[in-house]
Structure 1
Amino acid sequence: MGFPGTWMTVNESVIYRVVPKCACSTIGQIMFYSDHGEFFDGDIHDAEDGIHKWAIESSQQLITKAVKGREVYSFTCVRNPYTRVLSSFFDKICGIQRNGKRYRGKLVPLLIQKYGIEVGGPDGTEEFDQIESFRRFLLFVRDTIRFRKPMDPDIHWSATSGHVSTFIANGGRYNHIFWTEDFNAGMQTVLDNIETPHQVDLAKIPRFNESEGHGPKRAHPVEDYFDDLSRHLMWEIYHRDFKLFRYDFDNPANKMPTGEIDLDEIHAKLG
């Protein structure tokens, strides 16, 4: 199994467990900058050198040794399930991807046919009922996660706790987990605990939102997308995320956490 989705700086100052849709592009670029004094030219997800990734075979032994040795500072970043799944819908389902095509080829036609969703036409620019289509997408998300049908769950909408847990289950331990919603404070804690060849000034770091502009803009407040049934599905899919990372299930309008993350609890429950 190893450590899928795990990145490490080349000077082995820090280890990061990537969680899709949780500021991962910005975090990856900060890691790259801390090593090289410059940002990766392009989407950090495409970088094949200058940063260690589990997906790069030559990095795997180094990452395994560092994670299991527990001497390298390790962290991850999480996000409110309501805004994360909405972001996945607008970016991955409604949006045209970096390669100029739809995400995962036949996925969107399948959703249009089987779930009756709309995505704003061929390029995502036409008007459509965002709320109705999102709620149908959420039904599809539940089907993939509960029943693995009509396909296995996708990393962009599978539960955050599932991503976080593989790192623990295979012998890793987090030193810090912080919220996307309080990014600067959380990332600063990481930087304060590591030594890097290049200093990082968070106030000057741009936000690398690689998904921005892929799809239509969200036309309504977050809470408008979630009726009683949608919230029932959200609890079914993401109840561990709400509980462990202290997000407010009862109020979709409140994207901020309601309490502190308990690292010991997370290691006990996800290990």
Structure 2
Amino acid sequence: MGFPGTWMTQSESVIYRVVPKCACSTIGQILYYSDHGHFYDGDIHDAREGLHKWNQDESQPVIEAAARERRAYAFTCVRNPYARILSSFFDKIAGIQRNGKRYRGNMVPKLARTYGVDVGSPEDGFAFDQIASFRRFLLFARDTVRFRRPMDPDIHWSAMSGHIGTFVGNGGRLDHIVHTETFGAGMRTVLDAIETPVPVDLAAVPRFNESAGHGPKRAHPVEAYFDDLSMHLVREMYKRDFDLFGYDIDDPSNKMPVREIDLHAVHAFLSE
């Protein structure tokens, strides 16, 4: 399988295992800047040069050697699962993508028919019951994650441990895991541990949110979207993520991690 979802700087200063909806656009731009001294002009996910990416054939042997031989510092980034699944809904289900279309073509119309999900439209100002529609989406997301129907889980709401597990299970080892909620401190740890061709001033780095402005704004605090049933569905999908990455499974209002990540436990569990 190799190392899908893995990026590395061309200078081989650092390896990053991408986890969707966990500041990946900002991290990718930081890595790009650390080699070139400027940010990529566009969505970093579209960049075909300036970064090694596993989905580019010519990058695979370079990434594989660096990961397996552990000759480059490796890290990833995680996010509170309650906030992450909610962000996935507003970006990929309720939002319009950069190409002006709905995500994955007919998926949203199918959700409307089979799960009763209503996400409005740009024409009506995205006027819909956000809480009711999100909770119906959660049923769909749970079905994809637990039962792989009516489709396999999308990368934007499949478990973070699953993404990271491919890196660890195939012979990679992480030196650090950044919490999105303490992003500045986490990325400081990464940058302090490596040598980059270009110094990075984290305080001057903008947040690159490529989904901003393409859909409805969240109208309520995170916890308003989760009743008892919704929390049960989230536990079904992401209990391993809560346990491994130190988040509070019982309180959607508490986005902050409640304990440090035990890297040894993460590697032991994900390499099984």
TM over 0.5: yes
Aligned to 1:65: 65
Distance 1:123 1:10 in 2: 44
Q: Which amino acid aligns with 1:221?
A: P
Question: Cα–Cα, structure 1 residues 157 and 124, in superposed 2: closer, same or farther, change >3 Å?
Answer: farther
Give the drift of 1:121. 2.5
Deviation at 1:124, TM superposition (A): 7.1
**What CA distance in whole angstroms lies between the structure 2 residues aligned with 1:267 and 1:98?**
36
Partner of 2:20: 20
CA root-mean-square deviation: 0.8
* Mapping of residues 64-213 of structure 1, within 5 Å: 64-121=64-121, 125-213=125-213
- Show CA shifts across 1:186-233 (max 9, x none): 000000011011000000001101111122011111111000000010
Shift of 1:96: 0.6
- TM-score (normalised: structure 1): 0.99
Q: Is the 8 A contact 2:126 2:215 kept in 1?
A: no
Q: SS at 1:105's partner residue?
A: coil
Cα 1:187/1:27, change in 2 over 3 Å: same
Q: CA deviation at 1:123?
A: 5.4
Distance 2:211 2:66 in 1: 30
Distance 1:124 1:42 in 2: 29
**What one-letter code is carried by the residue in structure 2 that aligns with 1:138?**
L
Give the equivalent residue in structure 1 for 2:253: 253
1:270 aligns with 2:265: no
- The aligned amino acid for 2:177 is I
- In structure 1, what residue type is equivalent to 2:36? H
Asked whether 1:48 is paired with 2:33, we answer: no
Q: Is the 8 A contact 1:181 1:255 kept in 2?
A: yes
CA offset digits 1:105-141 (Å, max 9, x no partner): 0100000000001002255723111000000000000
Question: Mapping of 1:230-241 within 5 angstroms?
Answer: 230-241=230-241
**In structure 1, how many angstroms separate the alpha carbons of the residues matched to 2:82 and 2:11?**
36
CA distance in structure 1 between the partners assigned to 2:218 and 2:26 by the alignment: 22
Letter in 2 for 1:181: E
Counterpart of 2:194, as a letter, is I
Deviation at 1:33, TM superposition (A): 0.2
Greater Cα offset, 21-30 or 211-220: 211-220
Which AA in structure 2 matches 1:147?
F
Instruction: Report what 2:228 is aligned to.
Output: 228
Deviations 1:117-166 (A, max 9, x none): 10022557231110000000000000001111111100000001100110
- Structure 2: distance between partners of 1:177 and 1:96: 31
- Find the residue that maps to 1:21 and give its secondary structure: coil
Contact 1:242 1:248 in 2 (8 A): yes
SS in 1 for 2:150: coil
TM-score, normalised via structure 2 length: 0.98
Q: CA deviation at 1:38?
A: 0.4
Q: Which amino acid aligns with 1:39?
A: F
Is the alpha carbon distance of 1:6 and 1:124 closer, same or farther for their aligned partners in structure 2, counting shifts above 3 Å?
A: farther
Runs (4+) of structure 1 exceeding 6 A deviation are none
Counterpart residue identity of residue 268, structure 1: A
Instruction: Say how many residue pairs are matched.
Output: 271
Check whether the contact 1:120–1:126 (CA below 8 A) recurs between aligned residues.
Answer: yes
Of all paired residues, the percent bearing the same amino acid is 70
Confirm or deny: 8 A CA contact 1:96 1:123 kept in the other structure. Answer: no
CA distance in 1, matches of 2:125, 2:113: 20
**1:124–1:216 Cα contact (<8 Å) kept:** no
SS at match of 1:269: helix
